[in-house]
Amino acid sequence: MINGSFWLGTMFGASLSLLLLNKDLFPVNLGWRLAFGLGAVLGLGILLVRRHVPESPRWLFIHGHNDQAEELVADIEREVEEETGQRLDEVSDSLKIRQRHSIGFGVIAHTAFKRYPRRTVLGLSLFIGQAFLYNAVFFTQALVLSTFFGVKDDVVPAYIIPFAFGNLLGPLLLGRLFDSVGRKPMITLCYVTSGVLLIGTGLLFNAGALSAATLTACWVVVFFFASAGASAAYLTGSEIFPMETRAMALAFFYAVGTGIGGVTGPLLFGKLVETEKEVNVFYGYLLGAVLMIAAGIAEWFIGVEAAGKSLEEVAKPLTAHDEEAEALA
Cα–Cα distance for residue pair 282/241, rounded to 1 Å: 37
CATH number of the domain residue 274 falls in = 1.20.1250.20
Q: List all residues 6 or more positions away from 83 whose beta carbon is below 8 Å from its beta carbon.
A: none
| 15 belongs to a structural domain | no
Q: pLDDT digits over 185-232, tens only?
A: 999 999 999 999 999 999 999 999 999 999 999 999 999 999 999 999
Confidence of residue 329 (pLDDT cuts 50, 70, 90): very low
| 16 belongs to a structural domain | no
Q: Which string of DSSP letters, residue by residue, matches 251-270?
A: HHHHHHHIIIIIHHHHHHHH
Say what the alpha-carbon torsion angle 107, 113, 116, 120 is, to the nearest 10 degrees. 120
| 6 belongs to a structural domain | no
Q: List all residues 6 or more positions away from 19 whose beta carbon is below 8 Å from its beta carbon.
A: 25
| 2 belongs to a structural domain | no
| 83 belongs to a structural domain | no
The mean per-residue pLDDT over the stretch 266-287 comes to: 90
Which pLDDT score is estimated for 145? 94
| 45 belongs to a structural domain | no
Find, among 22, 39, 25, the residue nearest to 154 by Cα. 22
Find, among 224, 208, 200, the residue nearest to 285 by Cα. 200
Domain that includes residue 139, residue range: 107-314
Q: Which of 41-50, 143-152, 267-276 has the largest mean confidence?
A: 143-152
pLDDT at 325 over 50: no
Q: pLDDT digits over 291-301, tens only?
A: 999 999 999 99
Q: pLDDT digits over 26-47, tens only?
A: 998 998 899 889 888 888 888 8
**Residue 318 backbone dihedrals phi, psi, to 5 degrees:** -60, -35
Q: Residues of the chain with pLDDT > 90: what percent? A: 48
> What is the tally of structural domains in the chain?
1
| 159 belongs to a structural domain | yes
| 283 belongs to a structural domain | yes
Better pLDDT: 286 or 95 = 286
- pTM value is 0.86
